[in-house]
Amino acid sequence: MQPGSALDGKVPVFAFPSSMDFYLGSQSTYKRVVTLYNPYEFAVRFKVYCTAPDKYIVVDPEGSIKPMCQIDLVFRHNALSPANCNVTDKFRIQLHDHTTKQVIGKKDIPATLHPGVPESKNDDRLSISPFGEPAERQPSELRLPSQQPFGVKDSQTPSSSRGGGSSVNPIILLTGLVCVIALLLPNEGEQNSVPVHISHNLKLVFSYVLGLVTMVIFRS
């Protein structure tokens, strides 16, 4: 698939978690990590916008993501006061075509500062890991944005050192494999020795399903 073919329509934006919660009484929640995925076979550019930019610091709010890769975005709340509690701001992540810079997708992520500490006993020691699951870490240990292929976890990520993780359903793995194979097939109308061709719209569907499967695998 050529990068320009993504402009036939808007593409889904995969980011996890879908919201961020900061707690005034819990220092470990002052930083949050959102993982932005690119399940497509073409590179994309991204840019992060905010309805209240003076209240937050975003590490590397714009850049590019290689095909089938992901990047971690670090958000820090910079206006921690009771006056800002229970106020929901919004971040918008826009994807742009790497060549034309045209917007091809967007996703809004709400961010709220809460008074006190999280209700769960352990939540005040937890931050969201780049792979969509809680991981114990101190603010100084937050990993800066870096790109890595799907399914490859950084050796410093706490979740990679755990034992006894839950196994992934084989059907989910098979579904992901089918999606990858479908995305590697040539587009409809292309001259290729491979006898099977699929349409661009169908590839978008496979990309969407692959993104969902990827998030399920990361959370298991």
Indicate whether 142 belongs to any domain.
Answer: no
Indicate whether 148 belongs to any domain.
Answer: no
Indicate whether 144 belongs to any domain.
Answer: no
The mean per-residue pLDDT over the stretch 51-64 comes to: 95
* pLDDT at position 5: 43
**Residue 179's domain spans which residues?**
169-183+201-219
pLDDT digits (tens, 9 = 90+) for 193-215: 767 777 777 878 888 888 888 88
pLDDT digits (tens, 9 = 90+) for 163-186: 445 567 888 888 888 888 888 877
* pLDDT at position 169: 80
CATH of the domain at 76: 2.60.40.10
Indicate whether 4 belongs to any domain.
Answer: no
Rounded percentage of the chain residues whose pLDDT exceeds 70: 72
Indicate whether 96 belongs to any domain.
Answer: yes
Position 69, amino acid: C
Asked if the model's pLDDT at residue 220 lies above 80, the reply is no
Indicate whether 123 belongs to any domain.
Answer: no
The total number of structural domains that make up the chain: 2
pLDDT digits (tens, 9 = 90+) for 109-168: 999 999 999 987 544 434 444 444 444 333 333 333 445 565 544 443 444 444 445 567
Distance CA 169, CA 174 (A): 9
Q: Residue 142, Cβ neighbours under 10 Å: how many?
A: 18
pLDDT digits (tens, 9 = 90+) for 85-113: 999 999 999 999 988 889 999 999 999 99
* pLDDT at position 128: 44
* pLDDT at position 214: 82
Tell me how many degrees the CA angle 150-123-109 measures, rounded to the nearest 5: 55
Distance CA 134, CA 123 (A): 9
Indicate whether 63 belongs to any domain.
Answer: yes
96 and 178: one domain?
no
> Hey, is 193 helix, strand or coil?
coil
Indicate whether 195 belongs to any domain.
Answer: no
Using the 3D structure, point to which of 114, 143, 160 is the last residue of a domain. Answer: 114
